[in-house]
Amino acid sequence: MEQIKYIIKERSGKVVIPDNPGFGLLFTDHIFEMDYSPSQGWHNPTIKPLENLSFHPASMVLHYGQAVFEGLKAFRTDDNQAVIFRPQKHIERLNRSARRVCIPELDKDFVMEALKELVSIEQDWIPAKRGEALYIRPFLIGVDSVLGVRPSVKYKFIILLSPVGAYYPEGFKPVKILVTDEYVRAVRKGLGDCKTPANYAASLLAAEEARKKGFTQVLWLDGIEQKYIEEVGTMNIFIHFKDEIATPKLTGSILAGVTRDSVIHILKDWGKNVTERLISIHEVVDAYKNGNLVGVFGTGTAAIISSVGSLTYKDTNMVFNNGKVGELDKKLFDTLTSIHYGQIEDKFNWLTHLSNKGVEV
Ligand code: COI
């Protein structure tokens, strides 16, 4: 691989991150960008000032959605070190997603180097507050200017950085979720386990309709029988039964969340009975009615751990913990964020440290 080129713009003042940065509203000064062509492979890796992209209006990504992306986070630990949470896992998923939509894969080690370099240059943008982080959005897009439907020949790989706080407008308060059987997000063997824009486009109408009825998000059911719970689209879901903590198994239509995987590891480490299996919505409703349901929570890089205050399916409205954050959800949130900020031992080796250079405070 070529060496990364650096075009660095000196900052005129100190970085100021607003108190409530929201999610994905603010961007850092630089991006990483690299091009692909069949003759040169991935080439021209550059870290440069953030600027608008310029594309031909026929660019394939704009018409046929040939794109994949990732979402991962960098944190500033309590002793002022910059760390990235489980970057290898995200890079592997990026390549898996890329394969599914015919985008040439990236060299994993090179992407790791690019991530570390960019975050290192922008480390003053990493917020220090609990629940806040520097969100890293790598994405791959097909940029041929051709209107015929086929895989693009040329691509771009870009990494964008954004200081973020809580994902949902509720902050870290419990969210209200509507179980939908009106629409389908994905079907097995489709794109559901691929982090591609199509899945998010498929979710917009249902999410908008739910929002108008006062819900935060929708919980999707499987695309065939409309019976098994799948995921929330912006997070995976866990059902806390009295004697089991269950999450939908990865059937191919659900995204294999990195936070989902982290939570499974933590729960197993605590000796909990955690399972990955098919969970029908009727089982959830029955368990609720029989008093066997302790709570429900979601997991995601953006959402971290999000308590579900209520889950509504047809005319059944299930309320958990009086709409407050569940005990287990809080413990998981505290544990995961304590790992993020270096407050407890990183026993699973999830943190990638950038350098010994402290972050400017
Ligand atoms: C994430 O959790 O990183 C996501 O990608 C969810 C959403 C912001 C697209």
Which CATH number fits the domain that encloses residue 299? 3.20.10.10
What ligand 1 atom has the least distance to the C-alpha of 69?
Answer: 5
Spatial distance between the Cα atoms of 135 and 126, rounded to a whole number of angstroms:
9
DSSP 8-state symbol, 5: E
Domains held by the chain: number: 2
Residue 283, helix vs strand vs coil: helix
Spatial distance between the Cα atoms of 199 and 299, rounded to a whole number of angstroms:
18
Percent share of the chain, pLDDT over 70? 98
Q: Verify that 34 and 87 share a domain, yes or no.
A: yes
What ligand 1 atom has the least distance to the C-alpha of 303?
Answer: 2
Spatial distance between the Cα atoms of 72 and 139, rounded to a whole number of angstroms:
12
Among 72, 260, 301, 336, which residue has the most ligand 1 atoms within 8 Å of its CB, making it the best to mutate?
A: 301
Q: Verify that 116 and 53 share a domain, yes or no.
A: yes
Q: How far is the CA of 28 from the centre of ligand 1 (A)?
A: 18
In a domain, 339, yes or no: no
In a domain, 19, yes or no: yes
C-beta neighbour count of 227 within 10 angstroms: 14
What tens digit of pLDDT does each residue of 163-204 get? 999 887 777 789 999 999 999 999 999 999 999 999 999 999
Among 84, 135, 167, 254, which residue has the most ligand 1 atoms within 8 Å of its CB, making it the best to mutate?
A: 167
How do the pLDDT tens digits run along the chain, 361 residues long? 899 999 999 988 899 999 889 999 999 999 999 999 999 999 999 999 999 999 999 999 999 999 999 999 999 999 999 999 999 999 999 999 999 999 999 999 999 999 999 999 999 999 988 889 999 999 999 999 999 999 999 999 999 999 999 887 777 789 999 999 999 999 999 999 999 999 999 999 999 999 999 999 999 999 999 999 999 989 999 999 999 999 999 999 999 999 999 999 999 999 999 999 999 999 999 999 999 999 999 999 999 999 999 999 999 999 999 989 999 999 999 999 999 999 999 999 999 999 755 454 4
Residue 234: which of 71, 85, 25 has the closest Cα? 71
In a domain, 359, yes or no: no
In a domain, 330, yes or no: no
Q: Verify that 34 and 147 share a domain, yes or no.
A: yes
Q: Which amino acid is at 45?
A: P
CATH of residue 143:
3.30.470.10
Q: How far is the CA of 10 from the centre of ligand 1 (A)?
A: 30
Q: How far is the CA of 22 from the centre of ligand 1 (A)?
A: 14
Phi, psi of 242 (to 5 degrees): -55, -40
Spatial distance between the Cα atoms of 75 and 165, rounded to a whole number of angstroms:
12
CA 88 to chain centre: 14
Task: List Cβ neighbours of 350 (8 Å cut-off, separation of 6 or more).
Answer: 85, 86, 262, 339
In a domain, 88, yes or no: yes
Q: Verify that 163 and 179 share a domain, yes or no.
A: no
Q: Verify that 156 and 193 share a domain, yes or no.
A: no
- Atom 6, ligand 1: which residue's CA is nearest? 234
What ligand 1 atom has the least distance to the C-alpha of 135?
Answer: 3
Q: How far is the CA of 89 from the centre of ligand 1 (A)?
A: 15
Q: Residues 137, 139, 197, 300: is their CA dihedral positive or negative?
A: negative
Q: 283 near 316, Cβ under 8 Å?
A: no
Phi, psi of 35 (to 5 degrees): -115, 160
For ligand 1, is residue 301 a contact (CB within 6 Å)?
yes
**Residue at token pair 């059902």:** 239
Domain around 297: 175-324
For ligand 1, is residue 300 a contact (CB within 6 Å)?
yes
- Atom 5, ligand 1: which residue's CA is nearest? 71
Q: How far is the CA of 194 from the centre of ligand 1 (A)?
A: 12
Q: Verify that 205 and 145 share a domain, yes or no.
A: no
For ligand 1, is residue 302 a contact (CB within 6 Å)?
yes
Spatial distance between the Cα atoms of 99 and 89, rounded to a whole number of angstroms:
16
Q: How far is the CA of 174 from the centre of ligand 1 (A)?
A: 18
Spatial distance between the Cα atoms of 345 and 182, rounded to a whole number of angstroms:
45
Q: How far is the CA of 233 from the centre of ligand 1 (A)?
A: 8
Task: List Cβ neighbours of 59 (8 Å cut-off, separation of 6 or more).
Answer: 141, 142, 143, 144, 145
pLDDT at 361: 43
Tokens found for residue 184: 């389908």
CA angle 239–245–250, rounded 5-degree value: 75
pLDDT at 325: 94
In a domain, 210, yes or no: yes
Q: Verify that 157 and 209 share a domain, yes or no.
A: no
Among 23, 97, 137, 234, which residue has the most ligand 1 atoms within 8 Å of its CB, making it the best to mutate?
A: 234
- Atom 9, ligand 1: which residue's CA is nearest? 234
What ligand 1 atom has the least distance to the C-alpha of 24?
Answer: 8
Q: How far is the CA of 300 from the centre of ligand 1 (A)?
A: 7
Phi, psi of 99 (to 5 degrees): -55, -40
89-125 exposure pattern, b = at least 16 Cβ within 10 A, e = fewer: bbbebbbebbeebebbebeeebbbbbbbbbbebbbbb
Q: Verify that 15 and 139 share a domain, yes or no.
A: yes
pTM summary value: 0.95
pLDDT at 154: 98
Angle between helices 87-100 and 258-269 (to 10 degrees): 140
In a domain, 334, yes or no: no
Q: How far is the CA of 135 from the centre of ligand 1 (A)?
A: 10
Q: Verify that 187 and 317 share a domain, yes or no.
A: yes
What ligand 1 atom has the least distance to the C-alpha of 167?
Answer: 8
- Atom 7, ligand 1: which residue's CA is nearest? 234
Spatial distance between the Cα atoms of 207 and 213, rounded to a whole number of angstroms:
10
In a domain, 333, yes or no: no
Q: Verify that 181 and 161 share a domain, yes or no.
A: no
Q: How many residues are present in the chain?
A: 361
Q: Verify that 221 and 163 share a domain, yes or no.
A: no
Q: Verify that 264 and 164 share a domain, yes or no.
A: no
